[in-house]
Amino acid sequence: MVVLVKNPNNAYHMYCGIVQRVTDGKVGVLFEGGNWDRLITFNLDELEGREKGPPMVNPKSVVLEALVADLEDDEEKEAKEEKKEEGTAAAA
């Protein structure tokens, strides 16, 4: 299972990792990426599940996923507006 650290006071906030073990309300999460691998223990309430797997290569890049989605939405809107402008210019 893939999880995201949701505790803003934790150094691993918004990092995405893979659950390795669960015991007594504690969860061992493996973070892989770059030149290091770490197994860190969290309380269960500090984590939330993810449907997607770990992002790209760097576990910190999960923060960028929302920004990339916003940029893609903006590009789609701009493309639609350009098509409208071309259509009105051709009609005139």
- CATH (domain of 28): 2.30.30.140
* pLDDT value at 10 more than 60: yes
pLDDT for residue 63: 64
CA distance 66 to 84: 27
CB of 37 within 8 A of CB of 31?
Answer: yes
Which is more confident, 42 or 33?
42
CB atoms closer than 10 angstroms to residue 89: 8
- Residue 56 zone, left/alpha/beta (φ > 0; ψ -120 to 50; rest): left
8 backbone dihedrals φ, ψ, rounded to 5°: -70, -15
**Number of compact structural domains in the chain:** 1
Domain encompassing residue 14: 2-91
pLDDT confidence band for 32 (50 / 70 / 90): confident
